[in-house]
Structure 1
Amino acid sequence: MMEADVIAQFCAATEAGDVDAVIETLASDAELVSPLFGRAVFRGHDDLRVLFSALLPALSGLTWRHRVGGDGISVTVAAARVAGVRIGDAVLIEHADDGRIRRMTPHLRPWLGSTLLAIVLGRKLIRHPAVIRRVFRSN
């Protein structure tokens, strides 16, 4: 699978709120480094499904505006709203050998949107204590 195709599929899936389609773009050992919760790293399809199931409904008007990449690395830039407040994201994506997404490192802005997202996600993720324990385990 080509990296550009994977990124296009990922962006379309997140815009559509299609968690299953998001998971299809991820390598089985995929990771997302949380920009909100300290050293938290979500790992594997099961925990990432929980995260995206909480995240995508919290966002409105999600639109990916820029995509650049090559040689195993991509960067995508998005805009959305959370609780009516603007939030932006620039995601550094590392690809697995088959082109699927291996690691995502989001960079959120501005502060108010990021804070509101942390509150919304925190309320949803607290219902999954096993996931919370795993994301904060030592690397």
Structure 2
Amino acid sequence: MTLAPSPTDTTTTAWRAAGEVGDLDAAIACLAEDVEVISPLTAAFTFRGRAQVREMLAAAFEIFSDVRFHTELGDEVARALVLTGRVGRESFEEAQLLRFDAEGQITEVTLFGRPLPALTQVMTDIGPRLVRGQGRPGLARVIGAATAPLAFFTRVGEKRLVPLADPNRRR
């Protein structure tokens, strides 16, 4: 006997498929009206409600490529999904902690990402898109100019300095 998938299973499957192909409408359909997304980039604010999350996901889907989910753990209340992808030239890995309501809709997404050069590249690429979408092109230029050096230095540090601390490196 085969059991029918639960609402959480159905939502999780749809969320993963939407993320891999960048289908904004399909992703939004998985979310509760009062969804909250907690970013790995800032503790200053969260994205609340479908409208704000739509803007954030639209920007993310513009900058991410090669997204592939590879791990899923959890139950009907919460699931952890892990994926890989690319942002510009940087490969990244992201973990998503999803929380669900009784109908299987996503009420909260907490994002975690690595490595640091990929996170700073996300900050450089997504920040200006978000504020441009809010009708603030001047602030978009300021954010882009302020975050680009951070992305550059973390990328260079990862390639040139961090390998010097490798415990397996010959001295």
Per the normalisation by structure 2, the TM-score is 0.73
Residue among 54, 60, 70 paired with 1:55 = 60
CA distance in 2, matches of 1:87, 1:71: 27
Percentage of pairs with the same residue: 28
**1:31 is aligned to 2:36:** yes
Q: Which has the higher strand share?
A: 1
SS at match of 1:62: strand
How much has 1:96 moved relative to structure 2?
Answer: 1.1
- Contiguous gaps of at least 5 residues in structure 2: 1-5, 136-171
SS at match of 1:127: helix
How much has 1:97 moved relative to structure 2?
Answer: 1.3
Per the normalisation by structure 1, the TM-score is 0.89
State the structure with bigger RCO (CA 8 A, min sep 6), 1 or 2: 1
The runs of at least 4 aligned residues of structure 1 exceeding 4 Å deviation read none
Contact 1:30–1:45, Cα closer than 8 Å, also in 2: yes
CA distance in 1, matches of 2:84, 2:30: 20
How much has 1:39 moved relative to structure 2?
Answer: 2.7
Provide the residue aligned with 1:42 in structure 2: 47
CA distance in 2, matches of 1:13, 1:128: 22
CA distance in 2, matches of 1:25, 1:6: 6
**Which structure 2 residues correspond to residues 25-104 of structure 1 after superposition, within 5 A?**
25-104=30-109
- Contiguous gaps of at least 5 residues in structure 1: 131-139
How much has 1:16 moved relative to structure 2?
Answer: 1.1
How much has 1:30 moved relative to structure 2?
Answer: 0.5
- Equivalenced residues, count: 130
Q: Which has the higher helix share?
A: 2
Task: Name the larger-Rg structure.
Answer: 2
